[in-house]
Structure formats: C-alpha cells, structure tokens
Amino acid sequence: MISARRALMGLGHLSAGSHAGDEHDSDHLAGEEGHGHGTTLDLRIISIFAIAAGAALCGLPPLFMRAFQSPDSAVARVARAFAGGIILALALVHIVPEAVAELAEVVDFPIGGVTVLFGVLALVVLDSSLTAQWAPEDYKRRLREAQHAAEDSAAAAAGAAAKSLDHACPADGKAGELPPPALMSGKDVAAALGEAAAAATAGAARAPHTHACASAFAAQRWLAGGAADDSPLAGVKQKVTAYSMELGCIFHSVIIGVGVGVITTDRRLVLVLMIALVVHQGLEGLSLGAVLALTRFPTAKKVAMVLAYAVTTSIGIAIGIGVSASYDPESVLSKAVQGTLNGVSGGMLLYISMYQLIAEEFSREDLVVRPRLRLGMALALLAGAGCMCLLAIWS
C-alpha cells in the first residue's frame, strides 16, 4: 500500500512555490472533495495503461536480446546484479517498512516482522521442494547411487580399521585383545594406528567409485555450478527463480495498484504516483525480464509471464476504483490485509534478491580473476539499489 503522507513529503520540494499558490491549491482541493471518486478518475484510468506499458516496455526487451540469454555473458551478469539491487531495495525500503508500520497499528506485537519472516521461510521451503520435484530423474538416480557408494565406502573403511585394531599385537601376547592404554608403549600405539590407517586407505581404494555429484549440493558447488549451462540443475534453478520472482512481484504490484485506485480527491498525488510507478514498475519488469531470459521456457511463455506481471498493478488500480466508494484505508481490516500481504511479499522478494540473485552471481569463482566484471557488477548492484531508494521519495 502506498503511503500518501510519504508521497506528499517527497512532493514538498517540487511545490515550494508562493504562499498564495499553495492557498489556491488547497482551496481547489477542498472544493473538489464533494465530487467523490470522479475528481481523479481520469488520472487513475490513465495510470492503468501507463503503468502497464512501462512495465511491459522494460520487461520484454531482455527476452529477445541474445546478450541476456547466456548465463556467462558479462552483460547478463551485470544486468542480474542490477536486478538484485532493485529487488533488495524494493523489499527493504518500499515494502517491509510499510508492512511493519501498518501492522503496528493493528496489534501491540511485532507482527510485521513475523509476516516478513513467514515470506522468507515459505520461499525457502518452496524453493527446496520445487527443486527436488523438478530435478531430472536421471540426475536424482545418480545422486542416490553415489550416496550409497559413499556410505558403502565409509563402512568398508571403518570395518577395515576396526579389524586392524582388533588384530594388532598386544603387549601380553594374546591376540584379539588390546591392553589398557597405560600398558601400551608409544611404539605399540603408533604401530596400531599406522596399520589402521593403511587398512582404511586400502578399504577406500577397494570401495566403488564415488561420483562427483555426491557433493553437488554443497553451497559453493550449488551456487557456482547452478548457473552453468552444463549443470543438470541449471534449468531447474532458473525455473524456480523465475516462478518465485513472478509470485513475489505480483503480490506487491496488486497492493500498489489498490493504493492508487482508492485515491479519490488528490489529483496531484495521483499524477506524481503515476509517474513514479511507471519508472518503479519498469525497473522491476526489467529485473523480471533479465531472470526470465535465462530460463528454457518457450518465448511465448516468457512474454506471457512479463505481461501478466505488467497488468497486475493495473488490475489493482481497477479494483481500487471499484471499491473506492466504500473503502476505508484506516480501518483495522484494511490495514491487517494490506500489511500482511506486504510483509509476505517483502519477505519473498528479500529471499529472491539475497539468495537467488545476489549470492548466486557474486559467489561465482571466476570473479576472483575478473576484476573488471566484479567492479561492474558491484556498481550495477549499487545503482539498482540507489534507483529504488531514490524512488522511495515519491512512491
């Protein structure tokens, strides 16, 4: 939900005209209050089309540009870093504070933080579950075989080590028994341990070969290998990221749209928010398009997902227009619903930005030897975050 108070504060430096002009504007607005939702209806209808067009025009080009479709392209990696900064600032600057503020007025408990936490945890579970569900069957079969082989190898090595220790020569000459450690000399201990180590090495050598994919879920292997074209999970990771980002952006965009749709009297506020949201949703659409460009979806599906995102704010505005006559933004129910949806979507976008975009890109090993690319990605990350922080003045 957009805060009208915050938007008007951002408008202050633009409207620092003469005192007479301010009085004229206030008189004009006061005279319009009796006309209901018709006073800003034309601007709200224009917003429906302008915001959708801005999101679509920024989100569609990456789908058709070859530079965005290669996970190793410098252009695509810088674009994804830029997208990570946009989504991170969107969550931390625009959405989460609004959710916390709205829910703080509903109950005397930090429920806003709880909804953000729920959004993060829900996406963690969803990400893990969908990755396991959509992973190729052949890949999962090889992982299971490698795991069984590793377990058999470990068991064989442990058995060989135990057998070697059981048959080590004891100090009293009785086979199969080891005297108390106090009765064993340092030489006996060293000999027993040496035999055990040799037996463990031999057992490991005789064990079945362990496939490298047994460690494929280690964090660095997951992050570094997940974006490569030859990784079995590359397509799965990209698909999960695309769906989760689409879901988080849609949640947020509908709430934004409703917030604009219910503004019935302040034409200046609607105009400022329309301009700011064209840029806001355009940057968010660019981020979504950069993520979708890497997926193996058919082009028609990618276009449909961008367009579905583009129209969600417009749908929210239309809903807001429809309920504006009876809508009370100050009611407990309104604040509870808006705050909850904002908190959950903020948590989801926080997870997407930090893990699926920023951590994945900045953890790739080649950045160690590519300082220019590393610098470009860092600057893009800061630029994306800075753009959204700047827009927070108006939207």
Give the number of other Cβ atoms within 10 Å of residue 54's Cβ: 23
Query: How high is the pLDDT of residue 69?
Result: 84
- Return the higher-pLDDT residue of 22 and 320: 320
User: Does residue 50 surpass a pLDDT of 70?
Assistant: yes
CA-nearest of 5, 12, 9, 10 to 98 is: 5
Contact status, residue 303 vs residue 60, Cβ threshold 8 Å: yes
Q: Is the pLDDT of residue 294 over 90?
A: no
Looking at per-residue confidence, does 235 or 213 come out higher? 235
Work out the average pLDDT over 354-364.
90
Mean pLDDT of 252-269: 88
Annotated domain spans of the chain: 36-135+233-391, 146-215
Residue 28 has pLDDT above 50, yes or no: no
At residue 26, does pLDDT exceed 50? no
pLDDT, position 186: 53
Ramachandran bin of 328, using left for φ above 0, alpha for ψ from -120 to 50, beta for the remaining angles: beta
> Residue 225 pLDDT more than 90?
no
What pLDDT shows up at residue 196? 54
Give residue 44's pLDDT. 93
pLDDT at 275 over 80: yes
Give the residue carrying structure tokens 């074209």. Answer: 229
Instruction: Identify the pLDDT of residue 266.
Output: 85
The confidence score (pLDDT) of residue 13 equals 37
How buried is 126 (Cβ within 10 angstroms: 0-12 exposed, 13-18 middle, 19+ buried)? Answer: middle
**Tokens 């190729």 -> residue:** 136
Check pLDDT > 70 for residue 3: no
Residue that is written with structure tokens 């410098």 in the block? 74
Alpha helices in the chain (DSSP H): 4-11, 19-32, 41-59, 61-64, 74-89, 96-104, 111-134, 137-166, 186-206, 219-226, 234-261, 267-292, 299-323, 332-351, 360-362, 371-391
Q: What is the model's pLDDT at position 11? A: 35
Give me the helices (H) in 167-266, please. Answer: 186-206, 219-226, 234-261
Give the pLDDT of residue 285: 92
pLDDT of 18 above 50: no
Among residues 152, 147, 176, the alpha carbon closest in space to that of 162 is found at 176
pLDDT(237) > 60: yes
Q: Average pLDDT of the chain?
A: 78
Per-residue pLDDT, 43 = 92
Q: Choose the weakest-confidence range: 142-146, 214-218, 267-271, 324-328.
A: 214-218
**CA separation for the pair 284, 290 (Å, rounded):** 10
Of 136, 140, 133, 120, which is closest to residue 356 (Cα–Cα)? Answer: 120
Question: How long a stretch of residues is the chain?
Answer: 395
Please give the average per-residue pLDDT across 288-302, as a whole number: 92
Q: What is the average per-residue pLDDT within 120-146?
A: 88
More reliable by pLDDT, 199 or 340: 340
Q: What is the reported pLDDT for 112?
A: 92
Q: How many CA atoms lie within 13 A of 254 on its CB side?
A: 13
Q: What is residue 151's predicted lDDT score, i.e. its pLDDT?
A: 82
Query: Is 248 in contact with 352 (CB distance < 8 Å)?
Result: yes
Given a cut of 80, is residue 21 above it in pLDDT? no
Mean pLDDT of 235-246: 88
pLDDT at position 159 over 90? no
Q: pLDDT at residue 202 above 80?
A: no
Q: What average pLDDT does this structure show over 70-86?
A: 90
Question: Which pLDDT value is given to residue 231?
Answer: 64
Query: Which of 192-196, 276-280, 290-294, 368-372 is the least confident region?
Result: 192-196
pLDDT given at position 140: 84
Segment of 111-120, 129-138, 176-185, 321-330 carrying the highest mean pLDDT:
111-120
- Which has more confidence, 143 or 201? 143
* pLDDT at residue 84 greater than cutoff 80: yes
Q: What is the pLDDT of residue 395?
A: 66
| 67-71, 233-237, 255-259, 280-284: least confident range | 233-237
Helix 74-89 to helix 267-292 angle (10° resolution) is 140
